């Protein structure tokens, strides 16, 4: 929590730092502390009656309400806290044509949006990760440039929009794209304290506030006044702060050492370090300022893909600072929040979890064999009666020309699902995944109406206009005028304005793309447990997860092995969670294919009630064998999923293939794709060469 307070104070002193992204679990007072910040900001002088909060001493020459000229009348008001709701439309954010004046007076007039209202204040977005990408792009562009551009419905407007941007999010509900993460200046991880005394103090203060809000505010008024005064003094001191060349070299060395893309991180760190110096009543940036700035500005910029957890190796940070020179290893300075600061306000030394370890790799190039899997095309050791490594049976297998017993294959004895050691237990350790690659695009046919995304065609609030219909959600001006025009004489029109009634209003019908619920049903049985095969399967599922992340889908994961199916990941927008479940996926045992399909049918039935507009896409990853229960049970279970758009990824390998996955695909009405055919056509050859080299 101390890091959050410090990050907010840095931005209060220097809004050009670029705002704060607050990541944390639910119930950690993220919203409370952000809303409290607005009361601490200095008051602002604005031009009287200017809807864009122009400064009387330096008015915006492009202000739509201007020009104001020198000596414009001004007034002083508190800095605003403007909240952007999750369900806001684009015209609410950027502003749009004033329809009332357009229809009644026949003039083009601009109605400002939230970006104009937030100018010189705070713009707060709760659950920013749930905001549609289109709105996030507009929001962050305005925050980076300090200007908002509106080009829509015959309106062309440009106005100043400089604000302190604060976003909060719960990572369990999905991540922001790395490109958008980079646009936030600082990021902070927030977690509830585990200290019983501190938790008790939080409860005590909450109860005191509920009992008498006025008295509680009066008790803390002095501390708030002092903190506001310190912010104002630090702002005034900021232009005097000097960034020495040594500190600048430390900043650039740290960014280079952590392989941060672009130069935005260097600029943000420099601004944050200067704000820290001003906050601590100094005019020269020190190494401690650089270190704190790095802890706040770099963790979210180190992500290379959505499966990477944000974090920073502080030992490496210290090493880089020491090697660059001038690093002082003294204890971190007191952030100085005031005399009444609670004990938990000492800056924490970590802003996130430890960096994700590198995936396991084999010590030598893979020649197609593995000590634990002598034949990658063999589904598993022959541990059936009379054979296997512990028995005197014929060691020859299907790859050696031995006859294949179809009944034995269906029963799973050939694949190690009988009485052998691997059948009774899990594989010795989870197999690492192959490298991810770009997969083929699978879509749900038809035209949906789900949440905006990038997978299947749908009617969405964004996209190209394809028509109009009665309604007021997003008024189609031309269609509304056409609907009202034939009735003007009958309605007694006598002036320049149109006589418009409510039944004339038409709203736009837009077609774009929606996000779907992609439900992965993964076979983790013994027949899939061959190490090389499981690596390929995990790489394929991770690639599909990455595709789902890029297309803004929700994902769920069901695995089946032994005698039952398990919901490993309930439907969520966090593909990181799916990747973590996949990393530790246990394998072994028989193949309860029917149980996996039944579990999928139950889950989709429940999700249809919870979110009827989000259409599902079922991805079944299996070799098709049903060795717990019968193949007939699996076919009957598949009948329950008819009508659900499905893809069956056939993982069966070896010289003799039974083709059972194809039969399941036919029963589901699904597209059947072999594992090696999953990559996009443009990259199929590259992926094949990569696997051959591995």
Active site residues: 264
Tokens of 53: 């909060």
The distance in angstroms from the start CA to the end CA of the chain is 45
Rg over alpha carbons for the chain, rounded to the nearest Å, is: 31
* Residue 297 to residue 21: CA distance in whole angstroms: 10
Nearest alpha-carbon partner for 586 in 559, 612, 558? 559
Contacts of 266 (CB under 8 A, 6+ apart): 251, 252, 255, 260
- Helices marked H in 346-473: 406-411, 421-424
Q: Work out the angle between the directed axes of helices 245-257 and 264-279 (0-180°, nearest 10).
A: 130
459: tokens are 């009617």
Nearest CA among 559, 561, 560 for reference residue 569: 559
Give the SS3 label for residue 339. Answer: coil
Q: Residue 513 has which token pair? A: 């793309």
CA 537 – CA 351 distance, rounded (Å): 34
Show Cβ contacts of residue 350 under 8 Å, excluding neighbours closer than 6 positions.
189, 295, 312, 314
Neighbouring CB atoms inside 10 A of 94's CB total 25
**Nearest CA among 66, 125, 115 for reference residue 95:** 115
Tokens 């964004």 sit on residue: 462
- Selection from 120, 117, 264 nearest residue 179 by Cα: 264
Query: Distance of CA 172 to CAs 23, 569, 590, 673, Å?
Result: 10, 11, 32, 31
Q: Is the peptide bond before 380 cis (omega within 30 degrees of 0)?
A: no
Three-state SS sequence of 38-82: HHHCCCEEEECCCCCCCECCECCCCCCCCCCCCCCCEEEECCCEE
């Amino acid at each position: 929590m101390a890091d959050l307070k410090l990050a907010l104070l840095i931005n209060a002193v220097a809004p050009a730092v670029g705002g704060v992204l607050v990541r944390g679990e639910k119930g950690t007072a993220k919203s409370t502390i952000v809303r409290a910040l607005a009361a601490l900001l200095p008051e602002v002088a604005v031009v009287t009656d200017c809807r864009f909060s122009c400064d009387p001493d330096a008015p915006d020459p492009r202000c739509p309400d201007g020009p104001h000229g020198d000596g414009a009348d001004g007034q002083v008001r508190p800095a605003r806290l403007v909240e952007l709701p999750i369900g806001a439309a684009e015209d609410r954010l950027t502003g749009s044509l004033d329809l009332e004046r357009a229809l009644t007076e026949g003039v083009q007039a601009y109605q400002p949006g939230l970006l104009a209202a937030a100018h010189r204040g705070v713009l707060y977005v709760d659950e920013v990760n749930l905001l549609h990408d289109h709105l996030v792009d507009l929001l962050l562009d305005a925050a980076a440039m300090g200007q908002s551009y509106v080009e829509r419905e015959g309106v062309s407007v440009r106005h100043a929009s400089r604000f302190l941007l604060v976003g909060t999010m719960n990572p369990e509900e999905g991540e922001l794209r790395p490109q958008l993460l980079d646009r936030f200046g600082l990021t902070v991880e927030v977690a509830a304290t585990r200290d019983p005394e501190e938790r008790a103090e939080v409860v005590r203060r909450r109860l005191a506030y509920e009992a008498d809000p006025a008295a509680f505010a009066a008790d803390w008024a002095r501390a708030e006044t002092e903190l506001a005064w310190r912010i104002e003094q630090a702002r005034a001191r900021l232009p005097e702060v000097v960034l020495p060349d040594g500190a600048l070299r430390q900043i650039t060395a740290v960014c280079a050492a952590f392989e941060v893309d672009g130069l935005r991180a260097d600029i943000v760190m420099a601004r944050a370090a200067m704000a820290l110096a001003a906050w601590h009543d100094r005019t020269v940036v020190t190494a401690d300022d650089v270190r704190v700035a790095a802890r706040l500005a770099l963790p979210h910029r180190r992500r290379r893909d959505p499966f990477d957890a944000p974090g920073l190796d502080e030992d490496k940070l210290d090493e880089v600072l020491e090697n660059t020179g001038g690093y002082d290893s003294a204890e971190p300075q007191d952030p100085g929040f005031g005399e009444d600061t609670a004990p938990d306000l000492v800056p924490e030394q970590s802003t996130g979890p430890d960096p994700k370890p590198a995936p396991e790799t084999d010590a030598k190039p893979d020649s197609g064999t593995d000590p634990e899997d002598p034949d990658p095309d063999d589904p598993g050791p022959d541990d059936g009666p009379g054979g296997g490594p512990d028995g005197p049976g014929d060691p020859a297998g299907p790859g050696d020309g031995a006859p294949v017993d179809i009944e034995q294959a269906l029963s799973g004895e050939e694949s190690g699902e009988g009485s052998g050691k691997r059948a009774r237990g899990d594989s010795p350790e989870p197999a690492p995944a192959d490298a991810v690659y770009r997969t083929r695009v699978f879509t749900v046919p038809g035209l949906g109406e789900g949440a905006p995304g990038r997978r299947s065609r749908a009617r969405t609030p964004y996209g190209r206009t394809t028509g109009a219909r009665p309604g007021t959600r997003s008024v189609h001006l031309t269609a509304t005028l056409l609907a009202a025009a034939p009735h003007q004489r009958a309605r007694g029109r006598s002036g320049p304005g149109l006589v418009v009634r409510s039944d004339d209003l038409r709203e736009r019908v837009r077609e774009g793309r929606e996000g779907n619920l992609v439900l992965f049903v993964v076979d983790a049985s013994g027949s899939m447990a061959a190490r090389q095969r499981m690596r390929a399967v995990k790489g394929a599922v991770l690639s599909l997860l990455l595709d789902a992340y890029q297309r803004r889908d929700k994902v769920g994961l069901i695995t089946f092995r032994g005698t039952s199916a398990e919901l490993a990941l309930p439907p969520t927008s966090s593909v990181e969670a799916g990747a973590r479940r996949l990393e530790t996926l246990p394998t072994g045992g028989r193949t309860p294919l029917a149980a996996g399909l039944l579990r999928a049918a139950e889950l989709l039935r429940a999700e249809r009630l919870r979110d009827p507009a989000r259409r599902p896409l079922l991805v079944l990853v299996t070799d098709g064998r049903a060795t717990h229960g019968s193949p007939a049970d699996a076919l009957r279970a598949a009948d329950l999923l008819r009508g659900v758009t499905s893809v069956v990824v056939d993982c069966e390998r070896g010289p003799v293939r039974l083709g059972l996955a194809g039969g399941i695909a036919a029963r589901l009405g699904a597209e059947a794709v072999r594992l090696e055919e999953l990559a996009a056509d443009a990259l199929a050859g590259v992926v094949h060469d990569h696997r051959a080299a591995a």
